[in-house]
A = this chain, B = another copy of it.
Amino acid sequence: MLEILGRVFGEGGKNDGFGEVRCEHDQRNPKDESAGDILNDREINCPGPGGIDAACERLVVDFGATFVNQSLLDRIERVTGAPPHPFLRRGLFCAHRSFGAVLDAYEKGDKFYLYTGRGPSASMHVGHLLPFMFTAYLQRAFKVPVIIQMSDDEKFLYKGLSREECAKYMQDNLKDIIACGFDPERTFIFNNFDSMGILYPAACGIQRHLTCNQVRAVFGVGDSDSPAKMAFPAVQMAPALPSTFGNQLFGNKTLRCVVPSGIDQDPYFRVCRDVAKKMHEHKPSVLISKFLPALSGTHTKLSSSTATDSTGLGLADTPKQVRKKMNKAVSGGRESVEEHRRLGADLSTDVPMKYLRCFFPGPDAELESIEKQYQQGLLLSGEVKKLAADAVSSVLANHQKARAAVTDADIASFMEVRQLKV
């Protein structure tokens, strides 16, 4: 059984809403031997068949999200006038909650805003870019505002960072985030320590609809944890409620919210959707992504701590470094060339191919052909590793160039409370 956050709540699936709380664990127990896969916002380890990909898909089913299908892809193409982003077409953003309703409203002229965020860390890796690259694409495609929360408080509270470290990391991370190409007229970035004056009333409004029991069950807050961890989930949820920012950002418009989010963060927004209903607000829609696997295997995602070591892919890595690391990545290729030619690659455990799926710059048909050839043993793992390294290096080269152009003044203007172009 999949050990997950938010076992007891959620929409659809086996557990329906707050009304019927069926608590299986007094509190989250991510080390439960019997549980097998672990996938929550603090820990990911999925040694079961299919690794994190399969675990993500089970979560989508268990918690009543909807898989992205061809019909949705076609609709997005129709509405935006361009093919959807490869992350959507190729299954990275694999599921959603009520994005159809957002498109219905959009087609009637009601825009939405996008909300995503990040807890500042010492260094970012290529996996950290995905939600921001995707959010920037959505902003371009739909011409909508973006709100980005930097949860420096979370890192201060959960990781024991000092405020100075949080501030330093944030400034650094923001260059990487802004380099993803957000529209300065349409994007507001804030950090919780400096913006709690804006968020607090909304967070309190949310908290009136939560209990300590619920937060413990969904987010795994233990008795020995800081009470701030009880309060934090509402801080992350608050920007997903349209009323939180009053008329400070969107004038007198009430926009729906769409949250592009890794599936590990889905519990926040699943709970937020229940609370939004009680607060008579639009439920936030969620676009849910799987993860880039660690180079060391598909059982877990690329983690922050590996960003700078040999097993991760840091954002400042050179093509040579990328190539070297990708060569060491866990492959689905076989022991010998002969065996590989005979059996073909095992795509389910092949890490480089997962990267290639994300970043291959060519058409989908060409990617599919590569996959097929690899699966049939016509392509060797070394060849696929080279393709993956080239694709990643190309993304990183573009990113590094864009990042170098981001100034402190740019950061300051993104962080100014102001009317956004809607």
A272–chain B nearest beta-carbon distance, Å: 14
Give per-residue flags for A167-209: 1 if the beta carbon is below 8 A from chain B beta carbons, else 0. Answer: 0000000000000000000000000111111101101100110
Residue A315 is within 8 A (CB to CB) of chain B in the complex? no
Q: Name the B residues within 8 Å of A200 (CB-CB).
A: 153, 192-193, 196-197, 200
Q: A223 in the interface, Cβ–Cβ < 8 Å?
A: yes
Q: Given that A195-B197, A212-B224, A223-B212 are known contacts, is A204 also in contact with B153, CB under 8 Å in the complex?
A: yes
Q: How far is the CB of A166 from chain B (nearest CB, A)?
A: 10
> A411 CA to B221 CA in the complex, in Å?
41
Report yes or no: B196 in contact with A210, Cβ–Cβ below 8 A.
no
A233 within 8 Å of B (CB atoms):
yes
Interface pair B197/A215, CB less than 8 Å apart: no
A-side binding surface: helix, strand, loop or mixed? helix
A230 is an interface residue with CB less than 8 A from chain B: yes
- Which candidate, A156-164, A296-304, A395-403, is the interface stretch facing chain B? A156-164
Q: Select which of B196, B224, B227 is within 8 A of A207 by beta carbon.
A: B227
Contacts A193-B200, A197-B197, A200-B153: A211 and B225 contacting too (C-beta < 8 A)? yes
| A163, A216, A229, most chain B CB atoms within 10 A | A229
A219, closest chain B residue (CB): B227
Residues of chain B within 8 A of A203, CB atoms compared: 228
Checking B160, B215, B216, B224 against A213 with a beta-carbon cut-off of 8 angstroms, the contacting residue is: B224
A72 to B: closest C-beta gap in Å: 35
Q: Is A226 an interface residue (CB 8 A)?
A: yes
Is A212 touching B227 in the complex (CB atoms < 8 A)?
Answer: yes
> Is A222 in the interface zone, CB < 8 Å from B?
yes
Known: A208-B226, A211-B227, A234-B228. A201 touches B163 (CB 8 A): yes
Beta-carbon nearest neighbor of A198 in chain B? B197
Contacts of A316 in B (CB 8 A): none
Rounded to whole angstroms, the CA-CA distance of A216 and B212 in the bound complex is 11
Tell me, yes or no, whether A231 is within 8 Å of chain B by CB: yes
Can you give 14 contacting A-B residue pairs, CB < 8 Å? A157-B204, A157-B207, A157-B208, A195-B197, A196-B196, A196-B197, A196-B200, A207-B227, A211-B227, A212-B212, A212-B224, A212-B230, A227-B230, A231-B231
